[in-house]
Amino acid sequence: MAKRENKAYQHLASGGLSGLASAIALQPLDLIKTRLQQGVDVKAGGHASGIKGKGREIIPTVRLVVQEEGWRGLWKGTVPTLARNVPGVAVYFYLLSEIRYGLSQTGFFSQSPTTLIPSALPPGSTISSSISEASRHIPSPSPSSSPEIANAASSAATTANARSSSSTLPKLSSQGNIVAGAVARTSVGFVLNPITVLKSRYESGLYPTGSIVQAFRDLLVTDGLRGMFRGFTATAARDAPYAGMYMAFYEKGKDVLGRSSWKSGLGLPSAMIHTVSGMSAAMLATLATSPADTIKTRMQVLPKANPTIRAAVTSIFQERGLSGFFAGSSLRISRKAASSAIGWTVYEGLLLALRDKQIV
């Protein structure tokens, strides 16, 4: 059975800091991606006539934003992004840890036997040797020994076992990782969808941008309560498979890199394993879900022209063909890869530090 190695507030704090770091650093990529996906020229007043213009290209779009809004314009929408990402990432990581813990208690989703990633061990050492080293200073319990001595020996072995792993999260099967990722991401996405809609509108340049409160009121007046959840179906169609595939790829990547590092004697640090695994998983999962992301953006930025998924799909295909469903994909892949590298490295790094501090 998996053991809880970190408290709830530690998951929330680590996740919140992770979301803060990645949101500020990568907002320009998100803004340019939105401009490319919306399919209209902001300079042309939001008309489709700009579809075949320079707005489709990354460099000209960046130049246009800088010329009209200055360098600070690349960070337009940062406030709603922070309002979504900081609590959103914090709750996502906490919910993910809880779901993973719950699934690890079942025989179907738990990984058996538990696989440890010995990346934190020095080259040439093994998990068993580390456990033996930790237990060497504890007297071996004999039949006449007190329960306290036996418990001390068991605790020492558990401590060494915990330190040898590069992750604090329960180990799950591939199916378990897919279910945990999909459920956690979709649940958080539903709650934060209103902020996601505001964020997309801020970044599009097609709507007046005042305070978040004013933008919220304007959205309620123009689209009602239903507008707050505009594009959620497309968002769920993107997030559920993305998060599920991401978790499966991420955990597999950590396992493969950890084993390779151990066998080769390289002794890669945990941070490097998290970074490489996160980037690789994000690139694969992002490419697979790019069409759903483009559809979601169209529905949120231009709701009147794209009231349904079918209408958005038809509009995108008529304007750009199949390639239109991958508009901004390179930016989204770059952002997701960098976001995952920053996010998961910060999150798991802090949890490992907090766990080890508790053990001492």
pLDDT in tens, 305-332: 888 999 999 999 998 899 889 887 887 8
Q: What is the 3-state secondary structure (H, E, C) of 173-195?
A: CHHHHHHHHHHHHHHHHHHCHHH
Write down the mean pLDDT value for the chain: 77
What is the structure's pLDDT at 84? Answer: 82
pLDDT interval class at 124 (50, 70, 90):
very low
φ, ψ at 216 (rounded to 5°): -65, -45
Going from N- to C-terminal start, the domains of the chain cover: 8-121+164-359
What is the structure's pLDDT at 166? Answer: 56
Contact 253, 272 (CB under 8 A): no
pLDDT exceeds 60 at position 158 = no
What is the structure's pLDDT at 339? Answer: 85
What is the structure's pLDDT at 2? Answer: 54
Mean pLDDT over 193-205 rounds to 79
pLDDT digits over 114-123, tens only?
444 444 444 4
pLDDT interval class at 210 (50, 70, 90):
low
Find how far residue 121's CA is from the centre of its chain: 27
What is the structure's pLDDT at 269? Answer: 83
Q: What would the two tokens of residue 17 be?
A: 């800091």
pLDDT exceeds 90 at position 150 = no
Better pLDDT: 223 or 124 = 223
pLDDT interval class at 90 (50, 70, 90):
very high
Q: Which of 35-39, 197-201, 337-341 has the highest mean pLDDT?
A: 337-341
How far apart, in Å, are the Cα atoms of 131 and each of 126, 170, 249? 9, 20, 29
Report how far residue 50's alpha carbon sits from residue 33's, in angstroms, rounded to the nearest whole number. Answer: 16
How far apart, in Å, are the Cα atoms of 356 and each of 9, 109, 157, 350? 16, 27, 14, 10
Better pLDDT: 210 or 234 = 234
User: Which residue is associated with the tokens 């401009």?
Assistant: 35
φ, ψ at 41 (rounded to 5°): -95, 115
pLDDT interval class at 110 (50, 70, 90):
confident
CATH of 8-121+164-359, one of 3.40.50.720, 3.30.450.20, 3.30.465.10, 1.50.40.10: 1.50.40.10
